[in-house]
């Protein structure tokens, strides 16, 4: 591999570090939900997709069943399949490299990679691998730190950790609310989630709100 442009390396590194830092919030959230240090680290090592990880531990924290937790995480992860579709022809790898590429296919690696388009195919590949690997490294280190920290603190509510989880979700949601249509859809989803909650088993209200996404996307926007 030839040397990637310096700006690609810089973009990859800054995104990796900034995103990796969220790992502290995940480690703390997972720990607060009752997951052990090992289980928390396992999420970040093997699932490695932030929003899905937060969703799984969040559903457990509010008393949801394992199935509800896994299903919510899976639904949030479907966008990674579309990223894979985009990245696969650009990376052109087989065997274990393809397994690793799939594992590192997340919001950040895909977006940094595609943003390198004007610097050529080599920069696109470098952006993917550097960002994927960088986020993987920092995300796991900071998950470990966050889990250790939360274990040391004790009662999560006394330190505001129970409020840190919805704050993390709202932080992940915020950049997706750029247009009026998304904001309207989000508002309907909020109403649906609260409306379903008293009538469905814990954790399943979240999955039921997917109906809002189906209705919103069924027809092209006029």
* Contact call for residue 212 and other proteins (CB under 8 A): yes
* Contact call for residue 55 and other proteins (CB under 8 A): yes
Q: Which residue's CB is nearer to other proteins, number 124 or number 161?
A: 161
Rounded distance between C-alpha atoms, residue 63 and residue 61, angstroms:
5
Q: Which residue's CB is nearer to other proteins, number 3 or number 219?
A: 219
DSSP letters spanning 114-162: HHTGGG-HHHHHHHHHHHHHHHHHHHHHHHHHHHHHHHHH--TGGGTHH
Rounded distance between C-alpha atoms, residue 154 and residue 140, angstroms:
22
Piece in contact with other proteins (CB under 8 A), picked from 6-14, 58-66, 111-119, 120-128: 58-66
Q: In the numeric block, which tokens belong to residue 86?
A: 């985009």
Piece in contact with other proteins (CB under 8 A), picked from 5-13, 112-120, 122-130, 205-213: 205-213
Q: Are 2 and 123 in contact (CB under 8 A)?
A: no
Applying CB under 8 A, the site for other proteins has a residue count of 100
Residues 67-96, interacting with other proteins (CB under 8 A): 69-70, 72-85, 87-89
Residues 162-191, interacting with other proteins (CB under 8 A): 162-174, 176-177, 182, 185-190
Residues 103-162, interacting with other proteins (CB under 8 A): 103, 105, 157-162
* Contact call for residue 13 and other proteins (CB under 8 A): no
Q: How far is CA 100 from CA 53, 104, 116, 132, 185, in A?
A: 19, 6, 20, 9, 35
Q: Which residue has the tokens 């939900």?
A: 33
Q: Which residue's CB is nearer to other proteins, number 130 or number 205?
A: 205
């Amino acid at each position: 591999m030839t040397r990637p442009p310096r700006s690609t390396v810089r973009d990859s590194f800054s995104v990796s570090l900034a995103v990796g830092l969220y790992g502290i919030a995940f480690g703390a959230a997972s720990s607060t939900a009752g997951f052990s240090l090992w289980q928390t680290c396992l999420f970040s090592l093997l699932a490695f997709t932030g929003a899905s990880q937060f969703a799984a531990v969040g559903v457990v924290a509010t008393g949801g069943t394992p199935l509800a937790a896994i299903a919510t995480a899976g639904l949030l992860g479907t966008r990674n399949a579309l990223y894979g579709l985009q990245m696969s022809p650009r990376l052109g790898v087989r065997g274990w490299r393809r397994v690793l590429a799939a594992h590192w296919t997340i919001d950040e690696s895909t977006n940094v990679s595609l943003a390198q388009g004007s610097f050529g195919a080599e920069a696109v590949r470098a952006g993917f691998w550097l960002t994927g690997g960088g986020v993987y490294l920092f995300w796991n280190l900071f998950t470990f730190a966050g889990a250790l920290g939360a274990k040391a603190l004790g009662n999560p509510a006394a330190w505001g950790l129970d409020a840190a989880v919805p704050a993390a979700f709202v932080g992940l949601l915020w950049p997706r609310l750029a247009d009026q249509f998304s904001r309207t859809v989000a508002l309907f989803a909020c109403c649906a989630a609260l409306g379903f909650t008293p009538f469905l088993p814990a954790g399943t209200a979240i999955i039921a709100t997917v109906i809002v996404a189906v209705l919103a996307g069924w027809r092209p926007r006029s």
